Amino acid sequence: MMAPFFKYGMFGDETSLVVAFLIGIGFGFFLERAGFGSARKLVSQFYLNDLAVFKVMFTAIVTAMLGVTYLGWIGWLDLSLVYLVPTYLMPQIVGGLILGVGFVVGGYCPGTSVAATATGRIDGLVYVVGIFAGMFAFAEMYPLVKGFYLSGAGVAMTIPGTFDVPYGVVVFAVVLMAVGGFYGAGLLEKKFATAAGE
Amino acid sequence: MTTTSAEGLGVPMEAAHAAPRSRPQAYMNPYLAGIGLGLVLLASFVLVGRGLGASGAFNSVIAWGVHAVAPEHAKSNEFMAGYLGDGSQSPLKSWLLFEVIGVFAGAMFSGLLAGRAKVMTEKGPRVSVRTRLAMAFAGGVLMAFGAAFARGCTSGQALTGGALLNLGSWAFMMMVFAGAYAVANFLRWEWR
């Protein structure tokens, strides 16, 4: 048995779209279960009285990271065949800042706005319309921003590869960081719980 | 768990108790939900060799829409052309778009199951619906630019790239939190 199954030709393009739909169902289900179809729940992260966004995100990252790491070690998953988004550091840093601002202004990110729309949130739907408008505007402006958009290495870079640290060490560090973060998140929630109460 | 239940906007607790059918369930424990989300992400890596995403699906729809209205214009735009491919198949036949349609279905299923699906506008107590919707639109526009520059959003970059120890994804993730915390205090009127 060798994964990724699709890359080893165990199913074709058409089937991969069915798989995409099924994976999306799981993704949407857990987003909504966590409360991420609600803008007020999401932005609570930035007012520090409910750090569910951080907790869910980092638990998911650690779970999937440990999964690919162990599956790679026992030889069931060829990690080099898993797609890595190429690194363009400066555009990604600036993009992250803009996206962070957009998160608090609008109350969602793209995935959660879909979950919000699916559960009847009108602001989620308007946010989705905003994404479409913004994507269209970006595409139209592309010739103007192309220089900056393409600045950077343009090859996939990983933390272990870039800093020449063994993969397992980085994995361990991320786990430690997450556990420390979860502990800190609990403390922050206690501190800000009363301040934010109505 | 705080005041984020769907009935949080001015409905007295007694009324909520009087109508148990409309009372939404509490959200799942964040660590359990995170493990669930992480396993879905892992399944995606194992099955298809790629992670989750969202913003790319929006680009495919835009490229398709512009191409339908003004084909030459879409093809001459380098950014949209990337999503149109070689023209041998519709840009709507995109992995991410099918995944996002699944997100819609999965979230709706979960929301209905928990009694949380409800037509309403999420906002703080001090802001009008009209202003909140204008802000939602503005946030969507900002998000689109951010995700375009970053080549992904919270799903495709932070979650997926985070789990794969992608350098750009981790830089991106730190910046998302930095950007959000930097402006949160100035936007308190919208949420608190």
Within chain B, what is the greatest distance between any pair of CA atoms? 61
Measure the CA dihedral A58/B56/B145/B166, to 10°: 40
B64 → chain A, closest CA residue: A136
pLDDT tens, residue order, chain A (198 aa)? 689 999 898 999 999 999 999 999 999 999 999 999 999 999 999 999 999 999 999 999 999 999 999 999 999 999 999 999 999 999 999 999 999 999 999 999 999 999 999 999 999 999 999 999 999 999 999 999 999 999 988 899 999 999 999 999 999 999 999 999 999 999 999 998 855 444
A43 touches chain B (CB under 8 A): yes
Query: What ipTM was reported for this prediction?
Result: 0.95
Q: Could you tell me which of B177, B149, B52 has the C-alpha nearest to residue A89?
A: B149
Which one of A32, A140, A198 would you mutate to disrupt binding with B, by most B Cβ within 10 Å of its Cβ? Answer: A32
Let me know if A137 is exposed, middle or buried by CB neighbors in 10 A (0-12, 13-18, 19+). Answer: middle
Instruction: List CB contacts (< 8 A) between B95 and chain A.
Output: 16-17, 20
A169 → chain B, closest CA residue: B165
Residue A77 φ/ψ, nearest 5 degrees: -125, 125
Tell me the shortest Cα–Cα distance from B31 to chain A, in angstroms. 6
Angle value at C-alpha A83, between A16 and A69, nearest 5 degrees: 105
Token pair 């930035």: residue: A46
d(CA A4, CA B132): 43
Instruction: List CB contacts (< 8 A) between B176 and chain A.
Output: 96-97, 99-100, 103
Contact B95, B59 (CB under 8 A): no
B85 pLDDT band, cuts 50/70/90, is confident
pTM: 0.91
Closest residue to B184, CB basis, from A84, A104, A160:
A104
Closest residue to B108, CB basis, from A98, A118, A182:
A118
Instruction: List CB contacts (< 8 A) between A137 and chain B.
Output: 141, 144-145
Instruction: List CB contacts (< 8 A) between B142 and chain A.
Output: 98-99, 101-102, 105-106, 134
End-to-end CA distance of chain B: 16
Structure tokens at A68: 């690919």
d(CA A31, CA A52): 11
Average pLDDT, integer, range B132-144: 98
Query: pLDDT tens digits, residue range B158-185?
Result: 999 999 999 999 999 999 999 999 999 9
Q: Could you tell me which of A134, A184, A156, A135 has the C-alpha nearest to residue A81?
A: A156
Closest residue to B40, CB basis, from A5, A23, A160:
A23
* 3-class secondary structure per residue, chain A: CCECCCCCCCCCHHHHHHHHHHHHHHHHHHHHHCCCCCHHHHHHHHHCCCCHHHHHHHHHHHHHHHHHHHHHHCCCECHHHCCCCCECHHHHHHHHHHHHHHHHHHCCCHHHHHHHHHCCEHHHHHHHHHHHHHHHHHHHHHHHHHHHHCCCCCECCEHHHHHCCCHHHHHHHHHHHHHHHHHHHHHHHHHHHHHHCC
Query: pLDDT tens digits, residue range B7-50?
Result: 444 444 444 444 445 678 999 999 999 999 999 999 999 999 99
- Provide long-range contacts, Cβ within 8 A and 24+ apart, for B67-76: B67/B91
Interface contact B138-A101, CB threshold 8 A: no
Structure tokens at A94: 């600036």
- Res B21: pLDDT: 55
